[in-house]
A and B are shown apart, each in its own frame.
Chain A
Amino acid sequence: LFHARFEQAGLVDAIKDLIQDSDFHCRDSGIALRNMDNSQVAVVVILLEAGGFLPYHCDRRLNLGISLTSLTKIVHYAGDEATLALKANDNPDTFNLVLECLQTGCIIKYDIKSRDIDQEHLEIPKTDYAATITIPSAEFQRICRNLSQLLESVANEASEERIKFSSSGDIGSGSATLRHNSDLTGPIALTISLKYLVNFSKATALSYSVTLSLSSEVPQLVEYKVESGFARFYFAPQIGE
């Protein structure tokens, strides 16, 4: 039997524009998801440890194939105050989603068919990044949204004290600079698509801060810590002409 109750349903919203459906790997230690985005330029890794759920019970390994498009609709209409519970019995073909509004006591139940998902599993190597910079998540979202109104990609440059997001396009150029207190092993410059950063920054509500791990010419890591876990977004850089 599997039963998990989750209070940060906003996590679903953060990944719905990147992934249509995914296997949720349920273990006694917690729930994990690792999947390439639809255009195969990013990888989303989510880990939610058992301790972050009240309650959490999983007595055998279970892979639930879940449509995030459907899950998003369910969570969206439940509102912010609702908790989401996932239940499965010995039949792996279906699972239950239970939405509970604590204020009104309203309970909505769904019986959902597990999807068979053809998912490629990528090995993510351990990387020593040249810079690991933590900034307020709301500032990061503001910068990404603002620059993306007019421009398409952003060059991230980091120095000892500042991280600079600069961008140029047909209409001209723009940049945003933020102070940080992180250690750098050397200067970094990498260019990535703003559209994806805007998507990643939808996880802003999950955490006050976001950590950017950067090295030239390797995927950038954008990480949001959540209670008893994390949401990580790896994004392949743009290289050369």
Chain B
Amino acid sequence: QGKQRMISSFFAPK
């Protein structure tokens, strides 16, 4: 099983 990444590590806050 891989580790689930957070979406914020790909999409930065505006």
Contacts and interface: CB of A to CB of B under 8 A. Distances in A.
Interface in B1-14: 1-14
A238 B5 contact: yes
A205 to B, nearest CB: 25
A125 interface: yes
B2 A121 contact: no
B4 to A, nearest CB: 5
B10 A153 contact: no
Label chain B's interface by main secondary structure: loop
Interface string A210-241: 00000000110000000000000011111111
Contact of A122 (B1, B3, B4, B12): B12
A122 B2 contact: no
Contacts of B7: 36-37, 40-43, 122, 219, 234-236
A43 to B, nearest CB: 5
A41 B13 contact: no
A201 interface: no
A238 B4 contact: yes
A234 B12 CA distance: 14
Contacts of A41: 4-7
Interface string A9-49: 00000000000000000000000000011001111000000
Interface in A109-130: 120-125
Nearest to B6: A40
A122 B6 contact: no
A191 interface: yes
A199 interface: no
15 contacts: A40-B7, A41-B5, A43-B7, A43-B11, A120-B13, A121-B13, A122-B8, A152-B1, A153-B1, A153-B2, A193-B4, A219-B10, A234-B7, A236-B10, A241-B1
Interface of A: 36-37, 40-43, 120-125, 152-153, 191, 193, 218-219, 234-241
Interface of B: 1-14
